[in-house]
A and B are shown apart, each in its own frame.
Chain A
Amino acid sequence: MIRDSEMPLPGASSGAGVPATQADTSSEVWAEAQRFIDGWKGGINIAHEALDRHVAAGHGGDLAIRWLGKNGTRRDLLYADLLAEANRFANVLTDHGLHPGDKVFVMAGRVPEIYAAALGTLKAGLVFTPLFSAFGPEPVRTRMEIGGANVLVTTEGIYRRKVAAWAHEIETLKLVLILGDTAPEGCVALGPALAAASPAFDTVATRPEDPALIHFTSGTTGKPKGAVHVHNAVLYHAYSGRKALGLEPGVKYWCTADPGWVTGTSYGIISPLVNRATMLIDEAEFDLERWYSTVQDERVEVWYSAPTAIRMMMREGAEVAKPFDFSSLRFLASVGEPLNPEAVVWSEKVFGQPFHDNWWQTETGGIMIANQPGMEVKPGSMGKPLPGITAGIVERVDGAVRELGPGEIGELALRPGWPSMMRAYLHEQARYDKCFVDGWYLSGDLAMRDADGYFWFVGRADDLIKSSGHLIGPFEVESALIEHDAVAEAGVIGVPDETAGEVVKAYITLNPGFDPSEALERDIRGHARKKLGPAVAPREVVFRKTLPKTRSGKIMRRLLKARELGLPEGDISTLETDET
């Protein structure tokens, strides 16, 4: 296998002691997984695996995407159609003088063009970064700055509301492509550009370790991190789609995750296409009866969703589901946060199939631990590691780690080396190196392994918030809050919520001259929503005179959370100023 020296391998530049070789069994699994992909010109290109090779093998007439528009419109794209669209997009990029390695950011709803854009970007050897379209201007700007965005693909509305004011300050930005037939000053309308571009394109011969995707993920402190994934990750996208979801040629598959997040890319674009499945894409947001009708009418076989959506289904009760025919369903999976045992039991009753929980992260690039097809489901458990993946429960002791036994709670860790492992945090070598200790990748999640080898999620080891399956960094929220004139300090935590898992709650202190009031609370929340978007902004803001802080002045979010939940406060020896 070709290795590119430009991108560091996990822990390669650190003295962190990552093992030089994997267990033999893992390498055998990856060698075996190689049969799911073809390779391209001595290297590997994700888009070639997803499109070209299928069309070359005579499957151009197979249905790649069935798109359901918000307003009842419907569009089918065959593999040959999607290939032509991706080729046109790749030509638009090269016609505008962009080169392999340049960064393409995409921020839009679930419309067919963004799938062609993702694949066209990869074909041209550029790097694809999705952004969640509900982000407010600040998260967008921060990510485009860190990522060094060269191209932005978005809608006119999003551009005007969230980007136009500062786009000229992003020095790397060369091209803004606007979906549709018209574009504001300085931008290019994508519709006419695609129509004018050739539907033929010779896919760039990327090497296995060339960067392909950058997914941003939140940190507890500091800015969001850009996890870099390479073209060779497609090996794992192909393999894990088969093993953990049962994706295979012709399967009717619906991944409800938005492509603005890693699930919506790995399993909402790449894995299904590489496995030649038929993807169903619904442009609309969650709507219970629409979802049930879609499963029924489109004869969905494999359904990959998230706990928040499943809990919304449960809220409405089994009665609402009764009139629908779910007999097409073969496999149901869930990801984003732990799926409650009741939801597993409920789904089996309502759909005739339980939702199978699985676990992975932006950093892992693909499903690591899963209740796999054919395996006994333990409700509430995330399942067992996929073949080839070695997982353990560890505790950190003096710069090393010690593996814990069954029933003990510790940090969930993985032996590095699977193909879709992140290769870097962009421009953040130190933060990247910190993830690897003693030959383990440390996930930051606390978990337990039972005597049967099933893993059980316990909580986060840090202050990150999981809301509707999205990871939110408190620092990013706090930073936006203190930009409000009235706010002196802010401490942000996640509080339990029946539907979203957790919701963001902010504790703030005010600057002199400001007094707590309902109007001010609203004004601050409104400010945060404008800056951050509804998915990230706090749903609740409470006023305090002081916040609990350490001697070094760090706000103790852990303590705010323990008090919120009525839990023991733990070690408070570093507490200098208490909350009032």
Chain B
Amino acid sequence: MTSPDYRAVFLEELCRIAPDIDPETVGDNDHIQDDLELDSMDILNLVTALSERLGIDIPEKDYPAISTVKSAADYLSRQGA
């Protein structure tokens, strides 16, 4: 089984929770709270969606690791490996 494209999965779930974001314009290093304006409820929903879809548990202490598309893709591929 090939591993999922974590970057695409993250971006997809991000834009499902915050459909005001245009995936085309999201930069790899945009901060999901500071730049993309997600609030704390959005983050919780995002974590839940990622966990359900990927079966990866993301504890609160790791939230900073998913704060940009790039760091999230790295983090998820490490955890999913």
Contact = CB atoms under 8 A, between A and B. Distances in A.
Nearest to A316: B60
B18 to A, nearest CB: 6
A525 B44 CA distance: 18
Contacts of B15: 522
Given A523-B19, A529-B19, A530-B20, A539 B41 contact: yes
Nearest to A315: B60
Contacts of A530: 20
B30 interface: no
A286 B40 contact: yes
A328 to B, nearest CB: 22
Interface residues of B, number: 21
A529 B18 contact: yes
A180 B29 CA distance: 23
Residue from the set A529, A530, A533 with the largest chain B CB neighbour count within 10 Å: A529
A285 B63 CA distance: 12
Contacts of B20: 525-527, 529-530
Contact of B39 (A134, A312, A315, A523): A134
Contacts of A443: none
Contacts of B49: none
A188 to B, nearest CB: 24
B42 interface: yes
A500 B41 contact: yes
Contact of A316 (B16, B45, B59): B59
Given A285-B33, A320-B60, A320-B61, A503 B41 contact: yes
A287 B59 contact: no
A435 interface: no
A224 B44 CA distance: 28
B27 interface: no
A534 B19 contact: no
A499 interface: yes
A578 B59 CA distance: 44
B64 interface: yes
B38 A534 contact: yes
Contacts of B21: 526
B41 A534 contact: yes
B37 interface: yes
Interface string A505-544: 0000000000000000011011101100111000100000
Nearest to A500: B41
A287 B64 contact: yes
Interface string B44-61: 110000000000000111
Contacts of A298: none
A125 B33 CA distance: 36
Contacts of B33: 285
Contacts of B45: 539
A529 B18 CA distance: 8
Nearest to B40: A286
A130 to B, nearest CB: 17
Interface string A263-289: 000000000000000000000011111
Contacts of A315: 60
A530 B20 CA distance: 6
Contact of B60 (A288, A308, A525, A527): A288
27 contacts: A134-B39, A285-B33, A285-B39, A287-B64, A288-B60, A289-B60, A289-B61, A315-B60, A316-B59, A320-B60, A468-B40, A468-B41, A499-B44, A522-B15, A522-B16, A522-B19, A523-B19, A525-B19, A526-B20, A526-B21, A527-B20, A529-B19, A530-B20, A534-B18, A534-B37, A534-B39, A534-B42
Closest 3 CB pairs of A and B: A526-B19, A529-B20, A522-B19
Interface of B: 15-16, 18-21, 33-34, 37-42, 44-45, 59-61, 63-64
